[in-house]
Amino acid sequence: MSSLDMSKFEKKIVIRNIKKEDIDDIIELSKICFPNMDPWQRDQLESHIEMFPEGQFCVEAEGEIIGTSSSLIINFDEYDDQHTWDEITDEGYITNHDSEGYNLYGIEVAVHPEYRRMKIGRRLYEARKDLARQMNLKSIIIGGRIPNYKNYAAEYTPREYVEEVTSHNVYDPVLTFQVMNGFTLKRINRNYLDDDKASLRYATLMEWNNVDYRPTSKRHFKTALPVRICAIQYMMKKIDSFDEFAQQCEYYADVGASYNSDFVVFPEIFTTQLLSFIDEKSPSRAIRRLTDFTEDYINLFIDLAIKYNVNIIGGSHFVEEEGDIYNIAYLFRRDGTIEKQYKIHITPNERKYWGIKGGDKVEVFDTDCGKIAIQICYDIEFPELGRIAAEKGANIIFTPFCTDDRQGYLRVRYCAQARAVENQVYTMIAGTCGNLTHVENMDIQYAQSGIFSPSDFSFARDGIVGECHPNIETVVVGDVDLEILRRSRKSGNVTQWRDRRKDLYRIDYSE
C-alpha cells in the first residue's frame, strides 16, 4: 500500500521577529487592516527594529506576512495617567524604549482580515507573554481601541460601553479579544489616538500581570546614574620614538583611572606626533608612513584600557584600508573589545594635503555606561549626524578634534553645545595644543577641551560640566548623570527631543 505524502497538505505558519526586508509588506498590511487610519511609515518601523528588535513580531503563512505586533519596554509609572499613543511611543518611533523598564507596552496588533478566524492575534499575544516572562517584566500594558463604540455612543458613555463589553452583553472585536486573553481594565483614556475615529479617540488601558515576575536587586529606581569623563588636552611636541609616545599615553590613561573615570578621551589625529621622528617632507607620503604604526597603536591602547580598567577613546588615527587612507576613531573598551568610527566629513585641508577618504556610517556603541557615539571634529558640525546618533540611542557624543586656530575651535565647540541642546544629550570635545615644528601641515594647534550638557535647571550652569584652560597641556574631569538626562527628556522646562515635528520633517539616512 503506498503511503500518503502528507507534506502537500501542510500549511506552515511561523511566528518570528520582523526584519528590515519585511517593512514594505508590513506597511501594506497596516493599510489593509486599518484603512481609515495612518499606516506605519518606513522610518518608524526601522526605528522599532533598531531600538527593540525582540519586541517586534510577525506571523508568516506560506511566506506571506499575515499578522504583526509592535511593543516597547517602559516604566509605566513615569507616564501621565491620561497619556496619548504619541506620548507613549515617541510618535511611533519608540526611541523612549527603556531596556531597564518594568512593563512591556503593546502599541499595535494587526491581522489580515482573511486570517482573522485562525487565532493569529492570539499567537501574537502569546509571543508577547513569552517575551515578558523571558525578560522578567512585571506586566504587559496595552492601549486598546474600542472600534464598535461609534455604534453605541448615543446609548452609552465610554465607561458604560466598556462595562457592557466586559460583561459580555456587547461585542467589541478588540476589547472582547483582550478580555478573553487575560487582560484587565486599568482605566479609560480620552484623545488617545487622533485618527481612531471608530473609537471616538477613546482607548482602554489594559494590563496582563506576569505571575512569574521575580523582583531582583538589580531592578530598582535610580536616583542617579553617573558617568565620569576625562578629556585629555594633549600637547603636541617633538618625540624621538614610539616608546616615548606610548609613555605619554600611559601617563594620561593612569591619570584618568586615578580619578575613577569611566572614559578617557584623546584628541583627533594626535598620533601625527609620531611624524616628528620620521624624515618625510611630503605630507601625503608622511601620512602613509604613519599608517605603519596602526597595529602598534591598537595594541598600546587596548592594553591600557585593560590595565587601567577604563574605556578609552583613542583620539583618531590615520589608517590605510585597501589603498585608501581613513581618519578613524577607536573605542577601546575595558573588557578588551574594540569598535571604530570612520570620520564621515573630510575637511578641504585633509583632502588636499593627505588625500583622506570619508566613511559612510554613523555608529552607536554599547558600553558599560550606556550607548555612546563618536563624531570626529568636522562631523560634529553637521547636525544630522547628532540627530541620527541620538535616534539610535546615544546619550553621550564624544568629539576628538584638532584645530589650528580659534575660529576653527569655536566651530567645533559651538556645534558640540548645539548638539547637546537640540538632542538633549551630553557632548564633549578633546583637542590638541602645542605644535609640531618638524611636521608639514601640522604646524600650530588651538584647543580648549570641555564637557557639555543640555541647558536646563537640572544641568550645569551655562551647560558646561567642565572645561580646560585654553592651550595648555592638562585634563578636565567631569561627571554626567544619565538618569537626570532621562528625566529631563520627559519633563524638562523644554523637551526638544519629544517636541520634534516629525509630521513636517525627518532625516533620511542611507545606512
Which residues, in sequence order, are bridge partners of residue 139? Answer: 103, 209
Residue 9 CA to residue 15 CA, distance in Å, equals: 20
C-alpha dist (Å) from residue 40 to 31, 48, 142, 270: 8, 11, 18, 46
**402 flagged as catalytic:** no
Q: Which residue has the cell 466586559?
A: 166
CA atoms within 13 A on the CB side of 108: 29
CB 474 within 8 Å of CB 450? no
Which residues, in sequence order, are bridge partners of residue 310? Answer: none
Q: Which is the catalytic residue, given 268, 350, 363, 381?
A: 268
Residue 78 CA to residue 58 CA, distance in Å, equals: 29
Q: Which is the catalytic residue, given 33, 377, 402, 433?
A: 377
**340 flagged as catalytic:** no
Q: What is the DSSP string of 49-103?
A: HHH-GGG-EEEEETTEEEEEEEEEEE-GGGS-TT--HHHHHTTTT-TT--TT-SE
CB 52 within 8 Å of CB 103? no
Q: Which residue has the cell 506620548?
A: 87
Q: What string of H, E and C letters represents the secondary structure of 483-510?
A: HHHHHHHHHCCCCCCCCCCCCCCCCCCC
Q: Which is the catalytic residue, given 343, 357, 371, 392?
A: 343
DSSP E strands, 196-334: 203-209, 226-236, 263-265, 311-313, 317-321, 324-332
CB 443 within 8 Å of CB 483? no
**207 flagged as catalytic:** no
Q: What is the DSSP string of 388-401?
A: HHHHTT-SEEEEEE
Which residues, in sequence order, are bridge partners of residue 105? Answer: 72, 141
Measured in whole angstroms, the distance separating CA 490 from the mean position of its chain's CA atoms is 16
So which residues are the catalytic ones? Answer: 268, 343, 377
